[in-house]
């Protein structure tokens, strides 16, 4: 399923520092999951060093390459949660919820027409 699931390890040289995974599924009836960041894990000792930003920016390039115009992510709205991180990367809450998680999106390009 490499055309749908996009898993990537994030390295600094030879050292594994994190993992990112997305789903690209244009056949999914739920528009939320057409281009969706479903996992981002950066080792605690590596956080705050730009690895997460690097992974998300690489994912945005891949989504654009695949013709996607937006990327979505869901997160729990906890104090000290990932909301600030995603906002700094250009994600904005849509006002929707996926179960108890906030749905946020980043517009990648202007949709045609």
- Residue at 26 is within a domain: yes
Please state the pTM of the whole predicted model.
Answer: 0.87
Residue 42 within a domain: yes
Q: Which residue has the tokens 């994912």?
A: 59
pLDDT recorded at residue 3: 72
CATH number of the domain where residue 32 is located: 3.40.630.30
Q: Are 23 and 6 in contact (CB under 8 A)?
A: yes
Average pLDDT of every residue of the chain = 89
Q: Among 110, 8, 108, which Cα is nearest to 64's?
A: 108
Asked if residue 40 belongs to a domain, the reply is: yes
Query: Residue length, the chain?
Result: 113
% of residues, the chain, pLDDT over 70: 88
What is the span of the domain harbouring residue 50?
5-107
Q: How many domains does the chain have?
A: 1
Determine the number of helices (DSSP H) and then strands (DSSP E) in the chain: 2, 6
Does 112 fall in a domain? Answer: no
Q: Using one digit for the tens of pLDDT, what is the confidence trace for 41-90? A: 999 999 999 999 999 999 999 999 988 889 999 999 888 889 999 999 99
106 SS3 class: strand
Predicted pLDDT at 39: 95
In a domain, 60, yes or no: yes
């Amino acid at each position: 399923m490499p055309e749908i699931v996009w898993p990537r390890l994030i390295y600094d040289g030879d050292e594994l520092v994190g993992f990112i995974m997305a789903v690209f599924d244009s056949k999914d009836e739920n528009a939320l999951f057409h281009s969706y960041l479903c996992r981002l894990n950066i080792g605690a000792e590596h956080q705050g060093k730009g690895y997460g930003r690097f992974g998300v920016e690489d994912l945005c390039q891949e989504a654009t390459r695949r013709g996607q115009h937006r990327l979505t992510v869901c997160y729990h709205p906890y104090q000290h949660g990932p909301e600030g991180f995603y906002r700094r990367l250009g994600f904005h809450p849509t006002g929707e919820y996926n179960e108890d998680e906030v749905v946020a999106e980043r517009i990648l390009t202007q949709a045609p027409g």
